Structure 1
Amino acid sequence: MSKASDTRSLSDIAARLKAIDIAMLVTKTGEEGAIAARPMSNNKDVSREDGTTFHFATDDGRIDDDLKRSDQCGATYTEGEFYCAVQGTGTLHRDRAKLEKHWVPDLEAWFEDGLDTDGLILIEVTPRRIDWWDGREQGAFTP
Structure 2
Amino acid sequence: MSNEPTNAAEARRRVTELVRQARICMLTTNAVDGRMVSRPMGLQEAEFDGDLWFFAYADSHKVRQIRVNPEVNVAFSDSRRNSWVSLAGTARDGYDRAKAEQLWSPVLKTWFPDGLETPGLTLIRVHASSAEYWDSPSSTVVNLFGFAKAAVTGRPPKAGESHEVSY
Larger radius of gyration: 2
Q: Which has the higher strand share?
A: 1
Q: Is the 8 A contact 2:18 2:84 kept in 1?
A: no
Give CA-to-partner distance per residue, 1:28-60, whole Å, 9 cap, x none: 111x322111100003x134433x211111123
Q: Is the 8 A contact 1:128 1:142 kept in 2?
A: yes
Q: Is the 8 A contact 1:92 1:121 kept in 2?
A: yes
> 2:126 is paired with a residue of what secondary structure?
strand
C-alpha deviation, 1:138, in angstroms:
1.4
Match of 2:59 in 1: 60
Q: Is the 8 A contact 2:21 2:78 kept in 1?
A: no
1:98, 1:134 → 2: CA distance? 31
Q: Is the 8 A contact 1:26 1:35 kept in 2?
A: yes
Q: Is the 8 A contact 2:23 2:46 kept in 1?
A: no
Please list, as runs of the form range in 1=range in 2, the aligned pairs for 1:9-48 lying within 5 A after superposition: 9-30=11-32, 32-43=33-44, 45-48=45-48
> 2:119 is paired with a residue of what secondary structure?
coil
Q: Which has the higher helix share?
A: 2
Higher relative contact order (CA 8 A, sep 6+): 1
Residue identity over aligned pairs, in percent, reads: 26
Amino acid at match of 2:128: P
C-alpha deviation, 1:100, in angstroms:
1.7
Amino acid at match of 1:105: P
Please say if 1:94 is aligned against 2:109: no
Q: Structure 2: any 5+ residue segments left out of the alignment?
A: 137-159
> 2:66 is paired with a residue of what secondary structure?
helix
Match of 1:137 in 2: 161
Match of 1:6 in 2: 6
Q: Is the 8 A contact 2:135 2:162 kept in 1?
A: yes
1:47, 1:67 → 2: CA distance? 23
Amino acid at match of 1:38: R
Give CA-to-partner distance per residue, 1:84-114, whole Å, 9 cap, x none: 1110011102122232222122211221100
Structure 2 CA distance for partners of 1:49 and 1:60, relative to 1, 3 Å: closer
Amino acid at match of 1:33: G
> 1:9 is paired with a residue of what secondary structure?
helix
C-alpha deviation, 1:72, in angstroms:
0.5
Amino acid at match of 1:99: A
Length-normalised TM-score, structure 2: 0.75
Q: Is the 8 A contact 2:18 2:85 kept in 1?
A: no
1:48, 1:75 → 2: CA distance? 13
Length-normalised TM-score, structure 1: 0.86
Q: Which runs of 4+ in 1 moved over 4 A?
A: none
Q: CA RMSD in A?
A: 1.9
